[in-house]
A and B are shown apart, each in its own frame.
Chain A
Amino acid sequence: LTTFDPTGKLGQVERAMEAASMGTPIVAIINEKSNEILMAAPQILPSVFMLDDGTARFSSVAPHIAMAHSGISADGRVLIAAAQRLAVEHAYTFEEVIPIDLLLEEMSLLLQEYTMKPGSRPFGSTLLVAHLPPPAVSGSDPNQKPQLFRINPSGSVTLLEDGIAVINGKISDDTMSKLKDLSQSSTSTSSTKTTTDDDLQQQLCDILQESIAPKVFGKMDTETVQLPSCTLGASFSSQKGLRIQRY
């Protein structure tokens, strides 16, 4: 049970956010031209003999919503499962995909509940929610734009600006601008700045490796880093990126 301290802070919630911030960094960009959201996170393994730890960092919650978790994996798994259950129950009752604001509201209520529940602790994991609605002919409805949200262990939901999300990573200004460029580049061959899908992924991985992963690299002596990235486009696909080895 979390109680207020004399300064007005919730101790357990602060500590939960601290725990969540120690998770692996995740980077996401929205590419509106190709109507895609690209997400990437490094996978740090303690030994070169290990291939995978089996936890899906990115999961599909609904046909238009994907989620990633960072922090305590076990807590993250529970939250993703809860989101998936909410989406399925909504589809069963209303025969429609769950609206993003309804999902966010219910998830934030769930996280908040655990900051008040006796005998429980808050979730120690941050969620990244990627919403990719089907493209609209005349897109004037703000609820129909691709968006990225972050949900904190306290339950607060933040809309991430500019179609770029960095969870648990410290980024410099020029990395930010590199990410911005990436999110604006087009994958069609007709415009001046052209990149292919694989190229886009490669560039994202590079940014992740150069700028963000060093924070994590610094903690371990030898590691093998894989960069599985996940594309939320017409279909949700998760694939392994390049594999980096550091000694």
Chain B
Amino acid sequence: MNVYCPSTALPLLLYLFTLMGLARAQQQDPMTLNGGSLLAMAGKDCVAVAVDKRFGSGPQMVNIAPRLAWTPNPQLMVAFVGLEGDVQSLSQDLQTQVRSKLNRALGFSTSTEEDKRRRYISPKALASITSHMLYRNRGRYYVEPLVAGLSSSSASSVCKPFLCAMDMIGAKSTSQSFVCSGAASKSLYGTAEALWKPDMDKDQLLRACGEAFQSALERDCLSGYGSLVYLITKDGITEYDLAHRND
């Protein structure tokens, strides 16, 4: 070929190396490939969980759909963020495991009332089994779940907030104030720390959680496009839809 002569070989090689370098740079960390973020905050006898709605593939936005959250009972929620395929698998596996053992009216029960026969899973137990499941697969699930709920003891009517975030191999970190996961977690730690106060009532909590979440997500290109804030109280779960700048 005319082109391939010693004087033009060097620029050609340089060009090829640059192409290869660019291709490698496009391979993204599986945890942040699809984007998404979560934040959960505790107030006085209530918990707020914020999930975002962006589902993307690297820098490109694919769909506006909220992050998956499963509520085994009206005072407990587990939300997932990470690689979407693993999120779907893990959440289904977890639901199967939990439902086979708990969260159903067991075969033998001393009560005749349906709701008393059902044995609900407690937040601590749910966090525990999720952690076991993640570790059992030793890092093959690129998911960082978040367990948030109210642990009510039958002895009293006081509901203590329970928050627990996990990394992808199941290391639990519980907190009395807030926990966060996902692409914007570094920013979320900052905004949540700034806005959280102890013993907030549910309106204050909703505001603090929503504001902290929104502020952090404005600066993150991999999360956003709207968010849902779930407020968990002893009466149940309420969903609030917040609008964001859609970019």
B-contacting residues of A (Cβ < 8 Å)?
93-96, 99, 101-102, 104-105, 108-109, 136-138, 140-144, 147, 157, 159
Q: List 9 A-B contacts (CB under 8 A).
A: A93-B129, A95-B128, A96-B124, A101-B119, A104-B108, A109-B107, A142-B110, A143-B110, A159-B110
Q: How far is the CB of A77 from chain B (nearest CB, A)?
A: 23
Chain A residues whose CB sits within 8 angstroms of the CB of B106 once the complex forms = 101-102, 105
Check A96/B122 contact, CB under 8 A, given A101-B110, A143-B110: yes
Which one of B109, B125, B155 lies within 8 Å of A101 (CB-CB)? B109
Chain A residues whose CB sits within 8 angstroms of the CB of B156 once the complex forms = 137-138
Check A138/B110 contact, CB under 8 A, given A94-B128, A96-B122, A102-B119: no
Q: Which residue of A lies closest to B127 (CB)?
A: A95
Query: Bound complex: CA of A104 vs CA of B45, how far in Å?
Result: 33
- B65 near A: Cβ within 8 Å? no
B154 near A94 with CB under 8 A, answer no
Q: Which residue of A lies closest to B133 (CB)?
A: A93
Q: How far is the CB of A209 from chain B (nearest CB, A)?
A: 32
- B111 near A: Cβ within 8 Å? yes
Query: Bound complex: CA of A102 vs CA of B102, how far in Å?
Result: 8
Query: Bound complex: CA of A99 vs CA of B108, how far in Å?
Result: 11
- Secondary structure at the B interface, as helix, strand, loop or mixed, is loop
B116 near A142 with CB under 8 A, answer yes
- B140 near A: Cβ within 8 Å? no
Query: Bound complex: CA of A143 vs CA of B112, how far in Å?
Result: 11
Query: Bound complex: CA of A102 vs CA of B125, how far in Å?
Result: 14
Chain A residues whose CB sits within 8 angstroms of the CB of B155 once the complex forms = 136-138
Chain B residues whose CB sits within 8 angstroms of the CB of A138 once the complex forms = 155-156
Query: Bound complex: CA of A159 vs CA of B129, how far in Å?
Result: 30
Q: Which residue of B lies closest to A147 (CB)?
A: B110
- B132 near A: Cβ within 8 Å? yes
Chain B residues whose CB sits within 8 angstroms of the CB of A93 once the complex forms = 128-129, 132
- B101 near A: Cβ within 8 Å? yes
Give the residue among B107, B108, B122 with the most A Cβ atoms within 10 A: B108
